[in-house]
C-alpha cells in the first residue's frame, strides 16, 4: 500500500493522479498521468494529461487513481446493524424476522447514533451519493438528514410509508395514510433541495404488499406536487409477486399496480425488478422510469438473477444499489462484483447470448448511470470539467495479489479495463483512500472508528 499524501479538505486544489472516468458523450477516458483541478466553488475546472511544465503545487497522489464518486441508488439506513444476518431466508420471512423488529426501534436517538457512522462508512467505501430508505418515524428522518447535512455526503432520503403489513402499532389503521402523508410533506418542506440540492427527498411507499392502492396513489400525488423523487420495490421475489397478485387482482402485473397509481416516470426509482415480463420492461422504459439493480441482495435472499443485458437492450435506465441490509456490503465495488458474477452465471447456466458487460461498463453503471437516474447527469457522475467535484481516489496497490509481484506481471492489453477489473474483483476495505463531494473531503471510517479530520 502506498503512503498517504496530504489530502485537500476543500477546493481550490489540484491533483496529479491516474484517472479513469466514463464520459457523458459515451466511452471513457483513461489518463496514466493526469491533472485534475477543482475550483474554490467545488467544481471541476480542468481535466488534462499532465505536461512537464505543469504547476508543482499539484498534490501528487500517484499511483492512486481518481474516479467519479460512486452512486448507491438503494439502501436502508435502519437495517445496517443486521447486514449479513438471516442468510437462507426468503424476502418476506427475512423482513418479518430480521427487519421489521429493527426498523420498529429506529427512533430519533437510534438514528442520531447510527447515521453519522453510516455516512462515514459509505464515504470509506467510495459512495458520494446515496439514496436511502429510513423507517416509518418522522423524527428519525430529521436526525438522518441532519447527519447527512453535517457529514457532506449527497443524499436522497425518504420516510417509509406503510398502511398494511406494517410494524408501527402507535396509530390506528384508519389514521395511518393521512399521518404518513402529512409527515412526508413536512419532511419535504424541511429538507428537499437543502444545501443547493445536495439533500433531497424521495417519497417512499415501501412496496405493494405494504401499501394500499390509496396510499400508492396519494404518495405519487405528493411527489408530483413537490418535485420529490418516488421510490419503491418492484418484482423482487416469487412469493412477494404472488402476494401482490392476490392483493391487486385487477392489475395486469406488478408493474401495472404502480402504473395505475401514476407511479411510473422519470422521477421514479424502482428497486430490484428481477422478474419482469417483456411488457413490463417496455412499459418501464417507455415511461422513463428507473431501476436500481441490487445483485448482492438478489443473491443473498435468493431472489433471482436479473437479466440485466436484456433490460439494457430494451432501453431501460438502470443504476446500482447496495440494498443494505439484504445486500451484505455497503461497497458498490462489491455490488459490481456480484452483478458481474450473476451475469456470468446467467450466461453459463441459462445460455444468455448478449455480450458480457466489461469492467468499464460496470463502473459507468455505478457512477454516471446512477447520476442520470437522479436527473443529475450534467452535475455529477464523471470527472469532466464543469461538473461538481464528487470524486474518489482509489489505491490500486491494495488490490495486488502479492506485494511486489506487479513488476513481473505481463503488460496489460487494456490498462484501464484491467485496473477497474482488479478494483471490482479485489477491492479491500482500504482501497478507497479519499472521497470528496463538491470538492469537500468527506469524513470517512468504518463504523466504530474515529473519522479522519476534514
Ligand atoms: N421489499 C420491501 N421492503 C424491503 C426491504 O426492506 N428490503 C428488500 N430487499 N426488499 C424489500
Ligand atoms: Zn430495498
User: What is the count of structural domains for the chain?
Assistant: 2
Are 62 and 103 found together in one domain? no
The alpha carbon of 415 and the centre of ligand 2 are apart by a number of angstroms equal to: 35
For position 1, what pLDDT does the model report? Answer: 47
Do 50 and 165 belong to one domain?
no
| Residue range 310-346, pLDDT digits in tens | 999 999 999 999 999 999 999 999 999 999 999 999 9
Torsion sign, CA atoms 70, 74, 77, 79: negative
Same domain, 244 and 364: yes
207 lines ligand 1 (CB under 6 A): yes
Q: Which ligand is nearest to the CA of 207?
A: 1
Q: Using CA atoms, how far apart are residues 189 and 68, in angstroms rounded to an integer? A: 30
Residue 203 placed within a domain: yes
> Does residue 111 line the site of ligand 1, with CB under 6 A?
no
**CATH classification at residue 396:** 2.30.40.10
Does ligand 1 come within 6 angstroms of the Cβ of 91? Answer: yes
Q: How far is the CA of 145 from the centre of ligand 1 (A)?
A: 21
Does residue 76's CB lie within 6 angstroms of at least one atom of ligand 1? Answer: yes
Of 104, 136, 207, the residue with max ligand 1 atoms within 8 A of its CB, to mutate for a pocket test, comes to: 207
Domain contains 453: no
Question: Domain for residue 449, yes or no?
Answer: no
Picking from 373, 401, 416, the residue at the C-terminal end of a domain is 373
pLDDT along the chain (454 residues), means of 10: 79 97 98 97 97 85 97 98 95 97 96 98 98 98 98 98 92 92 98 98 98 98 98 98 98 98 98 98 98 98 98 98 97 98 97 95 98 98 98 95 69 89 96 98 72 37
State whether 299 and 352 are in the same domain: yes
Do 24 and 60 lie in a common domain?
A: yes
Q: How far is the CA of 271 from the centre of ligand 2 (A)?
A: 6
The answer to whether residue 2 sits within a structural domain is no
Rounded to the nearest angstrom, the gap between the alpha carbon of residue 219 and the centroid of all alpha carbons in its chain is 22
Based on the fold, state whether residues 34 and 79 are members of the same structural domain.
Answer: no
Q: Which of the listed residues 356, 373, 390 is the one where a domain comes to its end? A: 373
442 lines ligand 1 (CB under 6 A): no
Nearest protein CA to atom 11 of ligand 1, as residue: 233
C-beta atoms surrounding 178 within 10 Å: 12
1 close to 395: Cβ distance less than 8 angstroms: yes
Segments forming the whole domain that contains residue 396: 13-68+381-441
Ligand 1 nearest atom to the CA of residue 327, by list position: 9
- Pick the ligand that lies closest to the CA of residue 95: 1
Closest ligand to C-alpha of residue 160 is 1
Tens of pLDDT, residue by residue over 177-199, are 999 999 999 999 999 999 999 99
For the Cβ of 135 lying below 6 angstroms from any atom of ligand 1, the answer is no
What's the pLDDT at 384? 98
What pLDDT score was predicted for residue 2? 53
Top mutation candidate among 72, 73, 76 for ligand 1, by most atoms within 8 Å of CB: 76
Whether 297 lines ligand 1, by a CB cut-off of 6 Å, is yes
Q: Return the CATH number at 344.
A: 3.20.20.140
Ligand nearest to the backbone CA of 236: 1
Residue 317 forms part of a structural domain: yes
| pLDDT (0 to 100) of residue 68 | 98
Q: Which atom of ligand 1 is nearest to the CA of 210?
A: 2
Q: Evaluate whether residue 340 is within a structural domain.
A: yes
Question: What is the predicted pLDDT for the residue at 3?
Answer: 64
CB atoms within 10 A of CB 411: 6
Final residue of a domain: which of 373, 391, 422?
373
Amino acid at each position: 500500500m502506498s503512503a498517504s499524501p496530504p489530502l485537500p479538505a476543500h477546493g481550490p486544489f489540484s491533483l496529479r493522479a491516474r484517472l479513469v472516468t466514463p464520459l457523458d458523450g459515451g466511452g471513457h477516458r483513461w489518463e496514466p498521468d493526469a491533472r485534475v483541478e477543482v475550483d474554490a466553488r467545488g467544481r471541476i475546472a480542468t481535466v488534462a494529461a499532465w505536461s512537464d511544465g505543469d504547476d508543482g503545487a499539484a498534490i501528487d497522489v500517484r499511483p492512486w487513481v481518481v474516479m467519479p464518486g460512486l452512486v448507491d441508488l438503494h439502501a436502508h439506513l435502519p437495517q445496517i446493524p443486521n447486514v449479513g444476518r438471516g442468510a437462507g431466508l426468503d424476502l418476506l420471512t427475512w423482513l418479518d424476522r430480521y427487519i421489521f423488529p429493527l426498523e420498529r426501534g429506529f427512533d430519533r436517538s437510534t438514528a442520531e447514533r447510527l447515521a453519522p457512522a453510516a455516512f462515514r462508512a459509505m464515504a470509506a467505501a467510495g459512495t458520494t451519493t446515496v439514496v436511502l430508505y429510513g423507517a416509518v418515524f418522522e423524527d428519525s428522518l430529521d436526525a438522518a438528514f441532519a447527519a447527512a447535512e453535517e457529514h457532506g455526503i449527497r443524499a436522497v432520503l425518504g420516510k417509509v410509508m406503510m398502511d398494511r403489513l406494517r410494524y408501527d402499532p402507535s396509530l390506528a389503521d384508519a389514521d395511518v395514510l393521512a399521518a404518513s402523508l402529512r409527515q412526508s410533506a413536512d419532511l419535504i418542506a424541511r429538507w428537499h433541495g437543502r444545501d443547493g440540492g445536495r439533500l433531497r427527498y424521495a417519497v417512499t411507499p415501501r412496496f405493494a404488499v405494504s401499501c394500499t392502492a390509496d396510499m400508492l396513489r396519494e404518495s405519487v400525488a405528493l411527489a408530483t406536487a413537490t418535485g420529490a423523487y418516488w421510490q419503491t420495490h418492484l418484482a423482487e421475489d416469487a412469493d412477494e409477486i404472488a402476494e401482490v397478485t392476490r392483493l391487486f387482482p385487477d392489475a395486469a402485473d406488478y408493474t401495472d399496480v404502480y402504473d395505475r397509481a401514476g407511479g411510473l416516470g422519470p422521477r421514479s426509482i424502482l428497486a430490484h425488478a428481477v422478474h419482469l415480463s417483456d411488457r413490463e420492461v417496455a412499459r418501464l422504459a417507455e415511461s422513463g422510469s428507473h431501476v436500481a439493480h441490487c445483485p448482492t441482495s438478489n443473491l443473498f435472499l435468493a431472489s433471482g438473477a436479473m437479466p440485466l443485458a436484456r433490460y439494457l437492450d430494451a432501453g431501460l435506465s438502470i443504476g446500482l444499489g447496495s440494498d443494505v441490509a439484504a445486500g451484505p456490503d455497503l461497497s458498490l465495488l462489491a455490488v459490481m462484483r456480484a452483478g458481474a458474477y450473476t451475469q456470468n452465471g446467467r450466461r453459463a447456466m441459462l445460455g444468455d447470448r448478449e455480450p458480457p458487460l466489461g469492467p468499464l461498463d460496470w463502473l459507468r453503471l455505478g457512477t454516471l448511470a446512477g447520476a442520470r437516474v437522479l436527473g443529475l447527469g450534467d452535475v455529477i457522475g464523471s470527472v469532466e470539467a464543469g461538473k461538481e467535484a464528487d470524486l474518489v481516489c482509489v489505491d490500486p496497490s491494495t488490490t495486488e495479489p502479492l506485494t511486489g509481484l506487479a513488476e513481473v506481471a505481463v503488460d496489460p492489453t487494456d490498462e484501464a479495463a484491467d485496473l477497474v477489473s482488479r478494483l471490482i474483483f479485489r477491492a479491500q476495505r482500504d482501497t478507497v483512500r479519499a472521497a470528496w463531494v463538491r470538492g469537500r473531503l468527506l469524513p470517512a471510517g468504518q463504523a466504530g472508528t474515529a473519522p479522519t479530520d476534514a
